[in-house]
Structure 1
């Protein structure tokens, strides 16, 4: 079986783990940098080139692209899909999940989330602040990851100043209710297919409310509740993600969905839990291709 791993950097830990897991299962895996791809749409059908050389169709593709490569990655993935390639994350799902507001619009009313507001004009700032329960509140850039572009506004004045600065720079942000009782902790549940294969609790470092590992947070293995697992799986399925890192907060009103990551990192959660997440991902892809025998011929 031929597998394309869409990644701009072969040396990344997660990419290397996925390659190793693929090779252990005799999968012919190749890292494809979306920036080195070109595409043709002909009367005979879609053609895919890598480094200016035509490539035969792949049985499966696994997108592992950062936010800065969302457009390039989704474009390449869409071309592969047109050739009959399977992906646990479709191009449409990748685009939907990368826009925090679009993802939350798809999830609203179906899973519990912190109250969220969005606007483009400074005239709406006071109303937005009131709708999320006042300050402190969280401000998030719509397309960001690893805690980058996430700030905590402690006062109405700081909230207005930060929002006006973002709006003035034409950076789209949303405002979100601050869950005080979470106390700088969140949960990351790694969903593969219809199950949670690993979970960890992330704790922020002193002086920072963000629990992301890239922001200095610490990770501990976690045994999530049935309610937390059900929420994570449902959120991933609604967004069309066969593989997802789902972040939750524990609140007085139960678990709340924070966000869903379509290309979750593997290093932190594998180190914290000892679970072979890369292997679980490969086993899932193999099983999905086995369910459609024509794919395994590629």
Structure 2
């Protein structure tokens, strides 16, 4: 296979791991900085240019590693490859959906995937009523677009919740409110999905003084055994968003597992370290299978 990894940095852990595993398995691999790509549309034709002058050839597969700061441009680059029938581990629409927490939760709720009770609004005049819709404080307040636990706060009283929410509304920041799942004990589960298979799963535990469980916020991880329901939820959630490869975050509650969010560019460092599973190799093997199936279909016709 000829593989393009769309990444802002070749020395980023996940990018390097995917590159090394693909090369070790005999594939041709290029790391393309999507932020340096420009797209030219003219007379029904299009070109993807790299650094302004090199026209990019079409690979067999792309692996988008799109950062939150340039999501829209990255998704546009991915879309151009998609329109020429290049397989992507994350479709452009899936990247945009996953970046928006509200859109993700709307899709999950419609598809019957259990989620925490959630409220979103832009009305600063009924904050009290919004909090009451979740049964009162404490509540979780999240920025609608955020990663690695940033922009996530716990308001332990109605007074503090109203103050935080009012501030965000006045600053024109889009937020959502979620019920606080006390029994989760500052733990969640990160699951890496590739197609119809779970490659790895780890439990993440936050610091004693922090309700967030993200590794990037100082938390720790450990390998975890999933229930059949949790596996099914993760695979279905990724599929519903259009993400053949994804990181799915769940939380365990008295009502059963609840979906928190889906990540189109899941980091591999923490989950490989804590589970001792070669996730990067699993992703490359999945791509090999997809390309083999695609080529077989083409030969039939």
Tell me if both proteins adopt one fold, taking TM over 0.5 as the criterion.
yes
Cα deviation 1:79-112 (Å, max 9, x = unaligned) = 1112221102110111011100001111114111
Aligned to 1:97: 98
| Structure 1 position 295, deviation (Å) | 11
Partner of 1:292: helix, strand, or coil?
helix
| Structure 1 position 44, deviation (Å) | 5.6
CA distance in 2, matches of 1:125, 1:195: 42
Q: CA RMSD in A?
A: 1.5
CA distance in 1, matches of 2:49, 2:234: 36
Aligned to 2:245: 243
Partner of 1:247: helix, strand, or coil?
strand
What are the equivalent positions in structure 2 for 1:130-209 lying under 5 Å apart?
Answer: 130-209=132-211
Contact conserved, 1:59 with 1:295, CA < 8 A, in 2?
A: no
Number of aligned residue pairs: 296
| Structure 1 position 195, deviation (Å) | 1.2
Seen in structure 2, the aligned counterparts of structure 1 residues 44 and 173 have a Cα distance that, compared at 3 Å, is: closer
| Structure 1 position 60, deviation (Å) | 1.0
Could you state the TM-score of these two structures normalised by the residue count of structure 1? Answer: 0.96
| Structure 1 position 42, deviation (Å) | 2.8
Could you state the TM-score of these two structures normalised by the residue count of structure 2? Answer: 0.95
Aligned to 2:33: 33
Cα deviation 1:1-21 (Å, max 9, x = unaligned) = 211111111111001000001
Partner of 1:62: helix, strand, or coil?
strand
CA distance in 2, matches of 1:98, 1:105: 13
Cα deviation 1:99-149 (Å, max 9, x = unaligned) = 000011111141111000001111131121111121111011111010000
Structure 1: stretches of 5+ with no match in the other structure: none
Partner of 1:209: helix, strand, or coil?
coil
**Structure 1 position 10 matched with structure 2 position 4:** no
CA distance in 2, matches of 1:221, 1:67: 27
**Equivalent residue for 1:262, pick from 261, 264, 286:** 264
CA distance in 2, matches of 1:295, 1:69: 35
Runs of 4+ in 1 over 3 A off after TM superposition: none
